[in-house]
Amino acid sequence: MAKRKPDAVTCSECGQLNCYRHDKRYPSFCATIDLAPEERENLVDLYAGDNHDAILARAAAEVEGTYYCQLNRVEETVAFARRIGAQRIGIATCLGLIEETKVLVDILRLAGFDTRTALCKVGSIDKSEIGIAEDLKIKCGFEACCNPILQARLLNREKTHLNIIMGLCVGHDALFTRHSDAPVTTLVVKDRVLGHNPVAGLHTVKSYSSRMLDAERLRGL
């Protein structure tokens, strides 16, 4: 097996996954065996402390351990938000998911949270204004671009304690996350072809989605 470059983490090549339960062996390229004791200690201190990251880390583990395979993602999000002490939850929603967002807002309010919602088209800036060619619009004429930076700024102004992504596009989700002050969790991942379930493409890569193994096609995307 190829030796790992010192700074390259390649867990995708691992058949052992020994880091999880210590029931196999570490491969030679494993990042765990290269972890400096000081860095490991620093991480334990970080997760075991009382800083914000530690609160998030322990809340996530507590939700997993308490409700393993009992709660769906919406319910887990409620349980997580409660454990991190969130009171006001921001939602950055896609236009295409607005009906589902309304249901989510109802559920979050029933759970006792205050909510704020920012739609992706907020600000109403035409795609042409940011340099998008007319032929790249879904329809000609005025068409607002997604505005994840404004979504984040609006939720930042509201001082939300946790933000939820509801179906933002690939890339817009990255921008939103980058500009959000509050920690971000994703409830819905946009996948217009697979019903917002992108893992289906990976599950069916040897059958219905085999086009994804066509290197020439992929390199032309």
The answer to whether the beta carbons of residues 63 and 83 sit under 8 Å apart is yes
Quick check: 169 binds ligand SF4 (CB under 6 A)? no
Q: Which residues have CB under 8 Å from 128's CB, separation 6+?
A: 134
Alpha helices in the chain (DSSP H): 18-21, 37-48, 52-67, 73-83, 98-110, 148-157, 172-179, 199-203, 215-219
Q: Does 16 bind ligand SF4 (CB under 6 A)?
A: yes
Taking CB under 6 A as the rule, which mask of x and - marks residues 32-51 in contact with ligand SF4? Answer: x-------------------
Interaction of residue 60 with ligand SF4, rule CB under 6 A:
no
Measured from the CB atom, is 26 or 47 closer to ligand SF4?
26
96 exposure class (CB count in 10 Å sphere: 0-12, 13-18, 19+): middle
Stretch that binds ligand SF4, among 22-30, 83-91, 103-111, 185-193 (CB under 6 A): 22-30
The 3-class SS string of 100-112 reads HHHHHHHHHHHCC
Q: Is 1 in the site for ligand SF4 (CB under 6 A)?
A: no
Of 17-25, 108-116, 158-166, 172-180, the segment contacting ligand SF4 by CB under 6 A is 17-25
Note the residues at the interface with ligand SF4 (CB under 6 A).
11, 14, 16-19, 26-27, 30-32
